[in-house]
Amino acid sequence: MKKIAHIAFALLATLTMLKAQESPKEEDFYKILTPPIPEGIILEVGGLTTMPNGSLAISTRRGEVWIVDNPTSRTPYFRKFATGLHEILGLAYKEGALYCAQRGELTKLVDKNGDGKADVYETVYAWPLSGHYHEYSFGPKLAPDGSFFVSGNVAFGDEEWWRGESRVPGRGWIFHITNEGKYEPYATGVRSPAGISMLNGELFYTDNQGDWMGTGAIFQVKKGGFMGHPAGLRWAGLPDSPVKLTEKQFFAERDNRQHKDDQGRAIKPENTGNEAPQFLYQLKEKYNMVQLPAVWLPYGVHGVSTSELILDDTKGGFGPFTGQVFVGDQGQSNIMRIVLEKVKGEYQGASIGFRSGFQSGVLRMAFDKDGSMFVGETNRGWGSAGDANQGLQRLVWNGKMPFEMYTVKAMPDGFEVEFTMPVDRKSAEDLDSYKVSSYLYKHYPVYGSPQINLEDVKVKGVKVSDDNKRVRIVLDGMRQYYVHKIQLDGVRAATNSWSLVHPEAYYTLNNIPDGEKLKVSELKTTRSGNTATAAATTSVKEHVSPDGKGKTTATASASKTPTWDEVKPLLQKNTCLACHATDKKVVGPSYTDVAKRKYSNEKIMDLIYNPKPENWPDFATPMPPMPQVPKEEAAKIASWINSLGK
């Protein structure tokens, strides 16, 4: 008995020690708090801004504006400032007044008598609407001169709901409202520009995945620029338009790269199996007004429904990332950290995970004067991860230093990663601690895109700095315009052997810097054999490869039902996890609920390619067709889904 007790005690001690050595997670550094909200107040947040006196102004999709006094206290005070407006998806403060973008106008709200409520609702400028439900207006954002920028969502097609249309001027555009109340079209090519932002005096915006947008993305906006979606080009020929690319030029260029039917009409990508992919950079090489994303956000990982950008100007109050940028995702209810740099005059950079687990879709963010971040959330009609339809939460740093990639910078021969704390040199000099791959997204009129031309990139060697805080990763085969996924699973911190909280960075390499490359003699090239990730040293080449008839030879039956570990990479790669989870509703139904329908594997495969929105009337966002999913993978996914019902 004593021997058994001794063994049990030793085992318990070992488990306790192992638990103590576990690397910390997101929640160990950044805590999500939910402020008390008075009963009856529904905060489907569309806009957030911190006012000079420290109060928080909130606009809602229900057309209300609330002011929260003492917002970080245990008893914040909520007062309704304005009501009766139309779906306010942005809020700004200027010279004692609040400005909001309603669906059809920029409105100034003024409290003239000082009673805490708006007395004046003044139209600064009204823009046209067709009445389509998807014509959201986002903003306003203040320019350095005090004028405003607003972005306009496209409408959807009547027959193919995901195909964006610009039915009236301003839809699919970013436009400028001057201090005199004058309307100026500024740039076009946007689809669902939910995150118009001003960063250090420069205009940026984020777009959502969909037709012509392979995934979520962050763009710098230049006057006369075109960001890729053709709907707004309908108005490029108007007298006051700064955009010089025409619809005719865009579609002529597109037609050069795709098949046509016997009447000269373009064949949809889903109806042909051997068309060459077209990428946005190919259009830029011909028309210099085309703007590439500064950062592509990996679809299904960071880039489902990209929302607002916010600059960390807290001077350390929010952690070690002052001067960097955070971006929210409404569909996945999370926040990413963005590291930007300028190379050859153009922005580019990396997306790194930051904090997940919010109760609803992250749409707006604002820093409080104490350095914490308020997060405004909404779900209705769009769907999101989380168990709530709306809300206001606060993200607070606890003062502890996380082990993270602080910056990722492009080099002539690879990348340099700087860390928030020194790395363990032995792990950092082991090439098996690294894995790098690159890929791109299609630019085509299908909803979203898988990763195209995915290839591993050979790590030739590394060089660790003398202070152990930086690592040069030298690569063989960098590809301009491609997203480079940099995985550092094997790198450990020097003092506590922690692994990185977020070991993956997705760097969009628009330009490869000039400069001197490292010599082989300067590099460490040893491998321990302890690969940090599966198949770290194998070469991977993955392309969409159906036969000449647009079909593959896969069947829906599988001799063995795939496990979660086997099917998860397929769900991630094909962006399925952007809208579905195993056992809870996100944008679409859970896989468990699909399994309860008792469809055959063949039926589930057919529904992947030809969804039936009427099958799920309780979900406001219909599923688009997913022709890019290879049949072999669809068969495995279908088999796994049905296994959930057994």
Mind giving me the DSSP string for 167-227? -STTTTEEEEE-TTS-EEEEEE--SS----EEETTEEEEEE-SBTTBSS-EEEE--TT-B-
First CA to last CA across the chain, in angstroms?
A: 43
**Whole-angstrom Cα distance, residue 441 to residue 426?**
36
Q: CB within 8 A of 9, min separation 6: which ones?
A: none
What are the structure tokens assigned to 286, written together? 């011909």
| C-alpha to C-alpha distances, 145 to 77, 108, 239, 437, nearest whole angstrom | 33, 17, 25, 43
Q: Is 623 annotated as a binding residue?
A: yes
Q: Is 502 annotated as a binding residue?
A: no
> Residue 290 has what DSSP assignment?
B
What are the structure tokens assigned to 262, written together? 């016997």
List 418's β-bridge partners, or say none: 407, 470
List 105's β-bridge partners, or say none: 126
Q: Is 134 annotated as a binding residue?
A: no
**Whole-angstrom Cα distance, residue 577 to residue 304?**
9
List 440's β-bridge partners, or say none: 452
**Whole-angstrom Cα distance, residue 410 to residue 400?**
28
E strand intervals along 157-196: 164-165, 173-177, 183-188
**Whole-angstrom Cα distance, residue 143 to residue 198?**
7
What are the structure tokens assigned to 217, written together? 């993305």
What are the structure tokens assigned to 19, written together? 């638990």
512 by DSSP, 3-state: which? coil
Please give, one letter per residue, the 3-state secondary structure of 453-466: EEEEEEEEEEEECC
Length in residues, the chain: 646
Cα 388–Cα 389–Cα 390 angle in degrees, nearest 5:
95
Minimal CA–CA distance to 637: which of 562, 586, 530? 562
Cα 573–Cα 255–Cα 262 angle in degrees, nearest 5:
110
What are the structure tokens assigned to 534, written together? 């599966």
Cβ-contact 485, 475 below 8 angstroms: no
Peptide bond into 140 cis (omega under 30): yes
| Buried-exposed string 593-630: b where 16+ CB fall within 10 A, e elsewhere | bbbeeebebeebbbbbeebeeeebeebebebbbbbbbb
Report the binding-site residues for heme c. 576, 580, 623
Binding residues: 576, 580, 623
